[in-house]
Structure 1
């Protein structure tokens, strides 16, 4: 039987049997707003990026809320023995950074959205470099995908993965046990861009709206006020 929005039963069972016990072992959960995740249809899950651990922890969250996360992953992972087979089997989408091949990842993402998949998208493109770990200025891929596909964009903020595995480190800090906080916001209102050509300026404005929605959720999780202007690594 065809499963366009999920991997084969073998790969799904394999991933769930590894990720769920590992996630439960490593972190406590503070999950909010899961009911805002659409249970069917193509959807873009736009999240902040803090740690190499957060794709795994967010995948657990999304799975428990009825969606299989289709992740955009570094193309190099697809060339690693066994791991490459696994990420392909799990429907991950390869991304070649700094290459024209990146357009192919958006094209494949659009096809997956058309099939009804949930795409886990990190608009920042990498873990944040903001000194306070707030979301940075985002790249325009998620906005372009949303405008061209019409798929809703759901902002998701998380906090705590960076305590388990700080960016750049390879060994997790298991003790004391960390808490993984997640907050889901309402769909980002991109209606003012309807019918407008996806030109650079328009895409930057739409991207700023998406990042602002993620930041609102993160400020709520942290109980802090976010910076008035997001960190821009290009400007720096």
Structure 2
């Protein structure tokens, strides 16, 4: 199970390239509206990505848990959308990635990326061509969740989200050159 920060619409392509280079196939948790786009939807279904209806996410959650339990590598953007922060740093994390990892008893690996927002500007659709722009991706050690199973679901998920957010934020801060004392 992977959880990555989200800075641009091209993130999935860059993260998929990183995962495919490791000879693994990523399965993305993706909003249902993407599955409705004619060519994109066909490709998403063919590639085995997991459709999530944000208004009724339980079916998507169950499909994600089943995929992870089968050994598939599922990637979630726990912010739920591209960051809306002016500085591009991560927003608060939603609980889906932690819930899936806890339910399937699998490691949750944080992924940090930085630079994609300089290629395709968030929410503008403006592609910046020309000079190469560096993009950095890093996978951190698993977020410790094993000790949370005895806390009860509410507390386990809350603490797991806090840990995931801290891990991704620290990694993104390092990639973005943010001072440690911010």
Q: TM-score, normalised by structure 2?
A: 0.93
Greater shift in the superposed pair: 53-62 or 176-185? 176-185
Matched, 1:111 2:57: no
Moved over 6 A (4+): none
Given that residues 149 and 156 in structure 2 are in contact (C-alpha distance below 8 angstroms), is that contact kept between their aligned partners in structure 1? no
Q: Which residue of 2 aligns with 1:214?
A: 168
Given that residues 78 and 94 in structure 2 are in contact (C-alpha distance below 8 angstroms), is that contact kept between their aligned partners in structure 1? yes
Residues 36-58 of structure 1 show CA distances to partners (whole Å, capped at 9, x for unaligned) of: xxxxxxxx111100011111111
Matched, 1:47 2:4: yes
Partner SS for 1:195: helix
Whole-angstrom distance in 2 between the partners of 1:149 and 1:108: 11
Matched, 1:90 2:44: no
List alignment gaps of at least 5 residues for structure 1.
Answer: 1-43, 229-236
Q: Which residue of 2 aligns with 1:58?
A: 15
Given that residues 7 and 82 in structure 2 are in contact (C-alpha distance below 8 angstroms), is that contact kept between their aligned partners in structure 1? yes
Whole-angstrom distance in 2 between the partners of 1:81 and 1:128: 26
Larger Rg: 1
Matched, 1:78 2:35: yes
Whole-angstrom distance in 1 between the partners of 2:138 and 2:43: 29
**Change beyond 3 A, Cα 1:86–1:204:** same
Q: Which residue of 2 aligns with 1:128?
A: 83
List alignment gaps of at least 5 residues for structure 2.
Answer: none
Q: Which residue of 2 aligns with 1:171?
A: 126
Q: Which residue of 2 aligns with 1:224?
A: 178
Report the RMSD for the aligned CA atoms in angstroms: 1.5
Residues 46-72 of structure 1 show CA distances to partners (whole Å, capped at 9, x for unaligned) of: 110001111111100111022111011
Whole-angstrom distance in 2 between the partners of 1:91 and 1:218: 28
Q: How far does residue 226 in structure 1 lie from its aligned partner after superposition?
A: 5.8
Whole-angstrom distance in 2 between the partners of 1:171 and 1:94: 27
Q: How far does residue 88 in structure 1 lie from its aligned partner after superposition?
A: 0.3
Whole-angstrom distance in 1 between the partners of 2:40 and 2:173: 35
Q: Which residue of 1 aligns with 2:158?
A: 204
Q: TM-score, normalised by structure 1?
A: 0.73
